[in-house]
């Protein structure tokens, strides 16, 4: 059985354009692969705490020395990492807010990236411990940013997954959604056509 992890990050939950595109892809993918088990993690509906010194220290403390509170923090992170490891395919809905990634996604990144657990340091540089798998990213933007210095998302997301050893990423962009109705519909239609091709 295949396992697909869908990560939504839109403030508008399932009504966000990025969430809708991600869900459209998942539906098309499952229609072609009916044995797929889908896990949906909505980081806006159920946000993780942002990283604090207290939470970071819990990750650094040896297991036998952790307090009950630290054990709970680490257990939450361990569950997120296990969920990621179990997924053969990852689908990420990625709206752009103020030229960056949504803050709930950054919190998820900070709970996933743990030295010695999801990656390790070597003399040759960091080495991912998650293992490569396919990631589809549906990036929605109000303006036009792809290929410009304003697109801080693409490199950030690519670098994060590469840290874990995940390099097979496909980005689908729907841009200009706030420019006008015509531009919006054209961008979304193009994204839907790409979805049909990718899910085949």
Q: pLDDT value at position 127?
A: 97
- Which positions of the chain have pLDDT values less than 70? none
Q: pLDDT value at position 60?
A: 97
Q: Is the pTM of this model over 0.85?
A: yes
Q: pLDDT value at position 200?
A: 81
To the question of whether residue 93 is assigned a binding role by annotation, the answer is no
To the question of whether residue 98 is assigned a binding role by annotation, the answer is yes
Cα angle, residue 99 at apex, residues 118 and 80 outer, rounded to 5°: 25
To the question of whether residue 10 is assigned a binding role by annotation, the answer is yes
Strand 89-95 to 134-140 pairing:
parallel
To the question of whether residue 140 is assigned a binding role by annotation, the answer is yes
- Write phi, then psi, for 36 (nearest 5 degrees): -80, 130
To the question of whether residue 8 is assigned a binding role by annotation, the answer is no
Q: How many C-beta atoms surround the C-beta of residue 11 within 10 A?
A: 14
To the question of whether residue 141 is assigned a binding role by annotation, the answer is yes
Q: pLDDT value at position 1?
A: 87
Domains located in the chain, CATH noted: 3-199 (3.40.50.360)
To the question of whether residue 125 is assigned a binding role by annotation, the answer is no
CB distance 102 to 9 below 8 Å: yes
d(CA 191, CA 164): 27
Quickly tell me which residue has 């992170």 as its tokens.
Answer: 77
């Amino acid at each position: 059985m295949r396992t697909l992890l869908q990560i939504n990050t839109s403030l508008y939950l399932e009504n966000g354009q990025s969430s809708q595109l991600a869900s459209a892809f998942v539906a098309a993918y499952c229609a072609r692969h009916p044995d797929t088990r889908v896990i949906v993690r909505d980081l806006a509906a159920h946000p993780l705490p942002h990283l604090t010194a207290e939470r970071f220290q819990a990750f650094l403390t040896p297991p036998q020395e952790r307090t009950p509170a630290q054990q709970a923090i680490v257990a939450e992170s361990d569950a997120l990492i296990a969920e990621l490891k179990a997924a053969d395919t990852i689908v990420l809905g990625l709206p752009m807010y103020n030229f960056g990634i949504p803050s709930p996604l950054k919190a998820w990144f900070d709970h996933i990236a743990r030295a010695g657990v999801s990656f390790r340091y070597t003399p040759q540089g960091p080495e991912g411990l998650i293992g490569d798998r396919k990631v589809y990213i549906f990036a929605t933007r109000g303006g036009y940013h792809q290929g410009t210095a304003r697109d801080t998302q693409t490199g950030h997301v690519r670098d994060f997954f590469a840290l874990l050893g995940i390099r097979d990423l496909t980005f689908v962009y729907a841009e200009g959604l706030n420019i006008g109705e015509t531009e919006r519909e054209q961008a979304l239609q193009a994204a839907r056509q790409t979805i049909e091709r990718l899910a085949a």
